[in-house]
Amino acid sequence: MPSRWQRSKDGDAWIMGVLNCTPDSFSDGGVFLDNEGTNVEAAVSHGLKMWKQGAAIIDVGGESTRPGATTVPLHEELARVIPVIRELVAIGCTVSVDTTKAEVMRRAMHAGATMLNDVSALGYDVESLQVAADTGADVCLMHMQGSPETMQLQPEYHDVIQEVSNFFEQRIEACLQAGVHISSIVLDPGIGFGKRLVDNLSLIRSIGYFKGKFNMPILLGVSRKSFLGLLTDCPVEDRELETAVAGAIGIAYGADMLRVHDVALQSRAVRAASALSG
């Protein structure tokens, strides 16, 4: 049974809309927080807006994974994301939860989320694999060297493509051994997560390699990231053009889904890139 997130030959790549309920995310931290915590109404309104603009899934996160970020307490992360997930699901949105904590995953699935998007590839919390298997969730396995707190201090690879490939092999096997169905797995090479500029460029160029080797959907997250700023000297708030170009090239190489902030703008790029690469 193929994954629901595998892009069809003549279909558009999927869009994952980013909804950060955090004070410190690199691009949009604090937008949906107020003095009392998450402004649920504002966050849900933005999630619904992205849904209507063409996002196939809304990715709700309550803990920043930007370079240098530290973990937040479980109770705080739950308070940030669960009410938002519950409301988005109630109005008909498909939702993923961006977390490394098994209890957040468990409660998010109970609230109606259908995907676990984990920057540690279900490796940070020993209970995460079982939560994924027990709930039947789709899972996005992302490669990261180190942790968000340390990943960009001095990343180094002998062969980034082979090392990421080996990592995927190990995490896929761990998922299958735990009882996660193979059709539930999505792979993310982790652009910007413990990577140098040269590594990010090599990984994007190698999407076709990962597709051919694993025959699984590939999620590409390039939206507003620092490597784009290194290429054009543009600040984070002015990188949508670069995001569109990198995403389009990723689609041409075979990416099935893009994780983006500006859904309205990027959906136009996705439609054009999907048609041209068909």
Rounded CA-CA distance 63/41 in Å is: 19
98, 94, 129: which is closest to 221 by C-alpha?
Answer: 98
Residue 9 burial by Cβ neighbours in a 10 Å radius (0-12, 13-18, 19+): exposed
Q: Is 213 a catalytic residue?
A: no
> If residue 253 lies in a helix (H) or strand (E), which one and from where to where?
helix 240-253
Beta carbons within 8 Å of 21's beta carbon, 6+ residues apart: 32, 33, 38, 43, 60, 61, 62, 80, 81, 84
Catalytic residue among 66, 86, 171, 259: 259
Rounded CA-CA distance 102/109 in Å is: 11
Beta carbons within 8 Å of 258's beta carbon, 6+ residues apart: 13, 14, 15, 16, 219, 220, 221, 222, 223, 247, 250, 251, 266, 270
CA distance readout (Å), 11 to 5, 55, 85, 109, 193 = 11, 14, 28, 28, 29
88, 93, 116, 86: which is closest to 104 by C-alpha?
Answer: 116
Q: Are strands 37-38 and 33-34 parallel, antiparallel or unpaired?
A: antiparallel
Catalytic residue among 66, 106, 225, 239: 225
- Residue 266: CB atoms within 10 Å: 25
DSSP structural state of residue 24: -
Q: Is 49 a catalytic residue?
A: no
Active-site residue list: 225, 259
